[in-house]
Amino acid sequence: MIFRFKPVAMERIRQQVDTIVRFLAPNMEFVNCHMVDYLTEQHWKRFVPEPIQEVLRTGDDYREAKELFWSQFEPGFESDGRYPSVKAFIDNTRQYRLGGSKVQDTALTLDEFKEALSDHRKDTRLKMTELMNVKKCHEVEVAAAAVASLCTAMVSGTGSAARLEDILVIDAGDGKGYLSSRIALEHGIKVLGVDCNEENTSNAEKRLERLKNKIPKAVRKSNLEEDEHFTNLVRENNLNTLYRTATQLIDFNTNLIELAAEYFPTGNHSTFCLCGLHTCGNLGPNCLRLFHENPTIEGICNVGCCYHLMQEQFVVDEFYNPTKAADNPGYGFPMSSYLQGRSFALGRNARNLAAESIERACANRENPSDKLGYRALLQVVFLERGEKKSHQVGRLKCGGFVEYVRKSVRRLGLTEGVTIADECLLELQARFAVELEQLKVFYLLRQQFAPVIETLILLDRLLYLWECGYERSFLVKLFEPVVSPRCYALIAQK
């Protein structure tokens, strides 16, 4: 046993899944409603709890309620006396997210994870922020150390790797190679970055060349000149021997041993650690399946993202675009046989919601976009003119409601049927001014479910690993959510 802490029991994960499912059940219509229909289908009356409807009535109420939402992570929130029913709603939903009172102790904090790894722990020492934005820099420093720690634990465990050199890390969905190059550069572990997109691979290689020139200065800046690994790296300029890239679609037929032999011909690697930073849609779940189905992959560290691109087994997505999922077929949710047995479905809007970030929205006091209101108002126009309900406008740039309508109507080819004077549109907007402010509060109320849905997706993945028999499977909060919203990693060792 490498990790020095007691893993959460499978029964407990199931109980937490049950608790969330029970909480979400009566709210699924709310979570999956379309903002487009906000006015025409009276969402406020239909979905918002009555005690909230009773206290929020005016434009000023709505504006102040938004302040309450945005302050929910601030110290003064506990004692905030404004709109108790709104506050109670916020408090209640927050219980059902990782770290909340109903889902406690399942995800490890980064400190707990490091503490648990004891002697296998690797920290970041290199000060090297070049060629990355602040978000990527944060992710890469933390995730590279986590992967290096996992590899070290794999060497000391019961697996087949006797030395760190025996392990090859495969970065699934390598992108520009931010994480993979850092694992190689800082921790001296060999990494094969695999991405199905040729342009990404080529960019990763170009970035590597630029990165190499920055190493000597970074080593000096970090006072690591005495460190043997970094001294050799600077002297021999040999980062290419540690990090290589492959353009290849990872699927269930990918033979990792052959791939490794092709790119690291002298390495003779037989043990793999599969990592992935922001493996979008189905790629995350498919990486977990690869981990299970391939005995040579003894460790995994996976951070998912873009839940909206994931395909669900028990729901038919009306806007599903098969070309988007071509790279990563199969179902991404549910993964556990526990939720599969219940034919549990989230729905497209729920998955869209799960990809949002409350922490960031609150930190930036993000006002929901005016365009949500414009689209809901346009639906009023469409209905009055007998247009069909399901027009999809998509994203567009506009400076106000009138321009929004003009551009939408043009895009949908409706210029003949939907003629309406600018003054009438402005009058409509003025008539609904209070409801448009209310719509923003509705959006924030609904957004409270975002981390709850993400929690269910993550617990389902954790449960899958447990069901496959991997008791050393953990959820770890690797990143600061305001900096990097998809902040949880699934880390497992066979």
Ligand X SMILES: C[S@@+](CC[C@H](N)C(=O)[O-])C[C@H]1O[C@@H](n2cnc3c(N)ncnc32)[C@H](O)[C@@H]1O
Interface pick for ligand X out of 72, 200, 429, 455 (rule CB under 6 A): 200
* Burial status of residue 458 (CB atoms within 10 A of its CB: 0-12, 13-18, 19 or more): buried
Q: Scanning residues 32 to 71, which ones bind ligand X (CB under 6 A)?
A: none
Residue 223 CB, nearest approach to ligand X (Å): 28
Does residue 192 bind ligand X (CB under 6 A)? no
Does residue 178 bind ligand X (CB under 6 A)? yes
Q: Measured from the CB atom, is 94 or 187 closer to ligand X?
A: 187
Amino acid at position 452, single letter: V
Gap between the terminal Cα atoms of the chain: 10
Long-range contacts of 21-26 (CB under 8 A, 24+ apart): 21/339, 21/342, 21/344, 21/456, 23/96, 23/102, 23/452, 24/96, 24/449, 24/452, 24/453, 24/456
Does residue 196 bind ligand X (CB under 6 A)? yes
Residue 194 CB, nearest approach to ligand X (Å): 6
Interface pick for ligand X out of 53, 71, 197, 241 (rule CB under 6 A): 197
* Burial status of residue 448 (CB atoms within 10 A of its CB: 0-12, 13-18, 19 or more): buried
Amino acid at position 487, single letter: C
Q: Scanning residues 442 to 461, which ones bind ligand X (CB under 6 A)?
A: none
Interface pick for ligand X out of 7, 157, 159, 175 (rule CB under 6 A): 175
CB under 8 Å to 82, separation ≥6 — which residues? 64, 65, 67, 68
Interface pick for ligand X out of 186, 195, 437, 467 (rule CB under 6 A): 195
Q: Which stretch binds ligand X (CB under 6 A): 9-17, 35-43, 159-167, 273-281?
A: 273-281
Q: Measured from the CB atom, is 87 or 278 closer to ligand X?
A: 278
Q: Which stretch binds ligand X (CB under 6 A): 104-112, 170-178, 371-379, 447-455?
A: 170-178
How is residue 384 annotated by DSSP?
H
Residue 287 CB, nearest approach to ligand X (Å): 9
* Burial status of residue 492 (CB atoms within 10 A of its CB: 0-12, 13-18, 19 or more): buried
What are the tokens at 258? 């052959």
CB under 8 Å to 403, separation ≥6 — which residues? none
CA dihedral 280, 281, 283, 288 (to 10 degrees): 110
Residue 204 CB, nearest approach to ligand X (Å): 9
Does residue 439 bind ligand X (CB under 6 A)? no
Q: Which stretch binds ligand X (CB under 6 A): 84-92, 166-174, 374-382, 481-489?
A: 166-174
- The residue whose two tokens read 């970090």 is 222
Does residue 187 bind ligand X (CB under 6 A)? no
Q: Which stretch binds ligand X (CB under 6 A): 121-129, 154-162, 194-202, 437-445?
A: 194-202
Site string for ligand X, 342-361 (x = CB under 6 A): --------------------
Interface pick for ligand X out of 149, 181, 328, 493 (rule CB under 6 A): 328
Residue 173 CB, nearest approach to ligand X (Å): 3
SS3 441: helix
Does residue 166 bind ligand X (CB under 6 A)? no
Q: Which stretch binds ligand X (CB under 6 A): 117-125, 272-280, 331-339, 456-464?
A: 272-280
Residue 493 near residue 150, CB atoms below 8 Å? yes
Interface pick for ligand X out of 327, 356, 454, 467 (rule CB under 6 A): 327
Residue 482 CB, nearest approach to ligand X (Å): 18
Residue 444 CB, nearest approach to ligand X (Å): 27
Residue 171 near residue 276, CB atoms below 8 Å? yes
Q: For the stretch 283-305, what's the b/e string if a residue is b when 16 or more beta carbons lie within 10 angstroms of its beta carbon?
A: bbbbbbebbbebebbbbbbbbbb
CA atoms within 13 A on the CB side of 425: 19
Q: How many residues bind ligand X (CB under 6 A)?
A: 20
Beta bridge partners of 299: 273, 493
Does residue 19 bind ligand X (CB under 6 A)? no
Interface pick for ligand X out of 88, 249, 424, 430 (rule CB under 6 A): 249
Does residue 186 bind ligand X (CB under 6 A)? no
How is residue 77 annotated by DSSP?
G
Residue 276 CB, nearest approach to ligand X (Å): 7
Element (H, E) at 199: helix 198-221
Interface pick for ligand X out of 194, 377, 378, 462 (rule CB under 6 A): 194
* Burial status of residue 370 (CB atoms within 10 A of its CB: 0-12, 13-18, 19 or more): middle
Q: Measured from the CB atom, is 250 or 492 closer to ligand X?
A: 250
Does residue 280 bind ligand X (CB under 6 A)? yes
User: What residues line the site for ligand X (CB under 6 A)?
Assistant: 172-175, 178-179, 194-197, 200, 249-250, 277-278, 280, 283, 305, 327-328
